[in-house]
Structure 1
Amino acid sequence: MSTAELHTLTGAYALHALPEDERLSFERHLGACEACAQEVRELSATAARLGLAVSATAPPAMRARVLREITTVRQEPPSQGRISRAGAAQGRAGRWTAYALAACVAAAAALGGVAVWQNQVAQDARQEARQAREHNTQLSRVLAAPDARTVSAALEGGARGTVVVSQSENRAVFAASGLARPPGGKVYQLWFDDGGTMRSAGLVEASDTDEAVLMDGPVDRASGMGITVEPAGGSARPTTQPLGLMGFPAA
């Protein structure tokens, strides 16, 4: 990662939303970049204040009243006009200060809601990053398990599927090559074969057709797996003929 790219990570770092490798790279960069260190301190302090903010709804009539009052305020004249009509300008300035204060109050009420939203976005980003790390860790553990066993089979349409099963991890990983994107409004769904009863093992997103997928749920006593095309969101039971069935390898 280039130094220019590292300079752009201050906000994500302040919100603890960086993946582990990027976090480590950025922390090494912080030791040599005072500008980024200062920005992180400021953003962290701001994030803390925003996290304490409470949403407040402005009175319904406030917006209309502020906009109405603004229309009665003349634009300030040029500097010479202000000098020659100092008294009048001072009066207008006083009225404008009151109206500006009212507008600020309205904005502050709205920004309370923005602060809560920003805090929720940061929390969601951290949660998604944590879930992604946990998912990738579990997938790696299955693939690297000493008792991992692999079996492959041809799938309908010329694709090929491979499943890796680890009894010690009680999980399975599925991968396919040459698997076309599902038709519109459809999705690929994985299934565990529990002695002839198919149990859902998760969906394969259209963007993941060439990626290894950690199957949902434990293997338990499943003897194999299958993959079908189902309506978007998946089905409780298979509704189409499977593209392929694979028996799990013996332990």
Structure 2
Amino acid sequence: MSAADLHTLTGAYVLHALTDEERTEFELHLQECEACAQEVSELAATAGRLARAVSAAPPAQMKADVLRRIATVRQLPPHTPTPARTTGGTSRGRQLSRFALAACLALAAGFGGVAVWQNQRADEAGERAEQARQQAEQLAQVLAAPDAKASTGRLTDGATGTVVVAKSLNQAAFVAAKMPEPPSGKVYQLWFNDDGTMRSAGLMNPGRSTEAVLLDGPVDKASGIGITVEPAGGSDEPTSDPVALMNFPTA
């Protein structure tokens, strides 16, 4: 993917519309592109506001009307699109499709992400969207910090990991690629290595092989990170041998 293509992925990144490979490549790009980092931060804030905006209860009759009309509205036949002319190669077509998907996801963030029938679920969706917005914004800040330094190493079973540290923010991020799926009921847990004492730094998503994680907590005097396999929900301290140990970059 060219650098020009990467600049167009900010909206799709915020709305989680990228493949694992595209997400990894774009997050590495964020370390060097201040403009994209700023745009990611602004778009994440907008998505959060959209989700919080839709919290009104629907009319009491709406559910009954929808269920009644389901049996009477004819289903549309499958649509076969006419091939469009391409003058700039396949890349532009892929970007247009991606932005169409991002637009749909933006509507989902504002409307479909809340429960139609209960205000309580709408409030919960708004809280989740706000948390996701804050995490995406903080992650982008770490990756794009002027003093951000990265170190990449090979992990288990062909996986790779990149640690990014921004001392000015006292924060760090971890970008994993091709992580093997943890055993059923288990999760990868990240730990700060404080001179041999492991301090929890958050959990990875067990359903993703490629992921960028903002480490939970300040870097302080930690010299690196460790990764262990823990029961779902995480542990207060490591319960297994580390599957990986990585030192923070020093130069």
Q: TM-score, normalised by structure 1?
A: 0.54
Q: What SS class does the counterpart of residue 128 from structure 2 fall into?
A: helix
- Within 5 Å, which residues of 2 pair with 1:1-251? 47=57, 118-250=118-250
The 3-state SS of whatever aligns with 2:158 is: coil
For residues 185 and 126 of structure 1, the distance between their equivalents in structure 2, rounded to whole angstroms, comes to 28
Distance 1:23 1:149, change over 3 A: closer
- CA distance in 2: counterparts of 1:152 and 1:217, whole angstroms: 21
SS of the counterpart of 2:211? coil
Task: State the SS of the aligned residue for 1:206.
Answer: coil
Higher RCO (C-alpha 8 Å, min separation 6): 2
Q: Which amino acid aligns with 1:151?
A: S
- Deviation of the 1:24 alpha carbon: 9.7
Instruction: Flag the 1:24–1:190 CA change in 2: closer, same or farther, 3 A.
Output: closer
Equivalents in 2 of 1:24, 1:236: separation in Å? 34
Hey, what's the Cα distance between the residues in 2 that align with 1:180 and 1:210?
9
Deviation readout 1:38-82 (Å, 9 max, x if unpaired)? xx9xx98x63999xxxxxxxxxxxxxxxxxxxxxxxxxxxxxxxx
The amino acid that maps onto 1:149 is K
Question: SS of the counterpart of 1:146?
Answer: coil
Tell whether the 8 Å contact from 1:161 to 1:176 is kept in structure 2 after alignment.
Answer: yes
Q: CA deviation at 1:248?
A: 0.8
1:4-29 Cα shifts (integer Å, max 9, x gaps): xxxxxxxxxxxxxx97656999xxxx
The AA in structure 1 aligned to 2:241 is Q
Partner AA of 1:47 in structure 2 = A
Q: Which has the larger radius of gyration?
A: 1
**What 5-or-longer segments of structure 1 have no aligned partner?**
1-17, 26-39, 51-114
Contact 1:153–1:244 (CA<8 Å) still a contact in 2?
no
TM-score by length of 2: 0.54
Q: CA deviation at 1:125?
A: 1.2
Q: Identity of aligned pairs, percent?
A: 56
What's the offset of the Cα at 1:189? 0.4
Task: State the alpha-carbon separation in 2 of the partners of residues 248 and 23 from structure 1.
Answer: 32
- For residues 24 and 206 of structure 1, do their structure 2 counterparts lie closer, same or farther at Cα, with a shift above 3 Å needed? closer
Local SS of the residue matching 2:172:
strand
Letter in structure 1 aligned against 2:209: T
CA contact (8 A) 1:19 1:129 kept: no
Deviation for aligned residue 1:206: 1.4
Q: C-alpha root-mean-square deviation of aligned residues, in Å? A: 3.1
Which piece of structure 1 moves more, 164-173 or 201-210?
A: 201-210
> Post-superposition shift, 1:149?
0.5
| Larger helix proportion of the pair | 1
Unaligned runs of at least 5 residues, structure 2: 1-42, 61-114
Return closer, same or farther for 1:118/1:175 CA change in 2, 3 Å cut-off. Answer: same
Task: Give me the whole-angstrom Cα distance separating, in 2, the residues matched to 1:200 and 1:22.
Answer: 29
Q: How far apart are the structure 2 equivalents of 1:239 and 1:133? A: 32
